Amino acid sequence: MHVHQNTQITPQQPVSEAHPQPDFDAIKHRQQATWASGDYGIVGMRLQIVGETLAEAVDLRADEKVLDIAAGNGNVTLAAARRFASVTSTDYVPALLENGAARARAEGLDIRFEIADAEALPYTDGSFDVALSTFGVMFTPQPLKAAAELARVVRSGGRIGMANWTPEGFLGDLFRVVGGYTAPPAGVPSPVLWGSEPRIVELFGPNAADIRCERRMFNFRFRSPAHWIEVFRSFYGPVHKAYAALTADRQARLTTDITSLLERRNVGGTNSLVIPGEYLEIVITRK
């Protein structure tokens, strides 16, 4: 999809956060604990190809100043640094930044790692050529604030690149299944709405000269549904925390429901597991 904008886009209905106002500080603390649990890097490193693809989609150039926001273990951070960009990698979970820094050291890449909240970035207006996020900013509890911060720190003519899971894809289904056992925080929009083209136009339209969205697939490749559940239950924060909050009986029911989802989505045959996970690749040119 190409959205070419010569004038400001005004949504038919204004974007607004839910009321009454949730306790966002408490929600963020819980989110930090969730993403610090398990070991996201075990799952995250398998998504590296998404970072490489996004770096190409935004047409990264050597020496451009790049900010990776909610960077996790640094997939697009590394992809940008491999292209000789000047990269600052940020997250609000120190353990995830440490994981990214270890990867950078292993490759001899010179990257700055800094703790930062995606909804309150500690950088001046227009201080970066490119802002990037792969499956990170989409989990912020206040989308309006996060989108405004991404736009604020990018110079006029710079680019914002994102990869966000779609509502219709595998991760959308997974979050709905898990949400049936551990309800998400009241008043916080679903993160997969960031994988909807109209929502991206709502969030970024007023600050965008151009918005380009393309639906892509990332294939989760595991030995079996049981293997997938073992890895995600052990290492992927949202699934890890969901299991930890349940009784043994409800854990078993959740396993049954996730297994059913995996079997429905599997295109890998009876002896393997290949799950296509749809995501939206977004490239926004800043006004």
Fold that domain 24-220+278-286 belongs to in CATH: Rossmann fold (3.40.50)
Predicted local distance difference test score (pLDDT) of residue 183:
87
Residue 231 to residue 49: CA distance in whole angstroms: 19
pLDDT tens column, 19-66: 568 999 999 999 999 999 989 999 999 999 999 999 999 999 999 999
β-bridge pairing 65-68 and 86-91 = parallel
For the chain, give every domain's residue range. Answer: 24-220+278-286
pLDDT band at 2 (very low <50, low <70, confident <90, very high): low
Best CA proximity match to 136, nearest among 108, 165, 156, 166 = 165
Element (H, E) at 132: strand 128-134
Q: Which residue has the higher pLDDT, 72 or 17?
A: 72
Q: DSSP secondary-structure letter at 117? A: B
Whole-angstrom CA distances from 254 to 33, 36, 131, 172, 181 are 21, 22, 37, 16, 7
Best CA proximity match to 199, nearest among 231, 165, 222 = 165
pTM confidence score = 0.91
**Cα-flanking dihedrals φ and ψ of residue 145, to 5°?**
-65, -45
Identity of the residue numbered 277: G
pLDDT tens column, 127-178: 999 999 999 999 999 999 999 999 999 999 999 999 999 999 999 999 999 9
Give yes or no for a cis peptide into 122 (omega within 30° of 0). no
Identity of the residue numbered 44: G
Best CA proximity match to 136, nearest among 121, 124, 154, 122 = 121
Predicted local distance difference test score (pLDDT) of residue 21:
84
Whole-angstrom CA distances from 204 to 11, 89, 92, 105, 121 are 10, 22, 23, 35, 17
Best CA proximity match to 211, nearest among 128, 121, 151, 152 = 151
Ranges of H-type helices in 1-124: 24-36, 40-44, 48-57, 75-82, 94-107
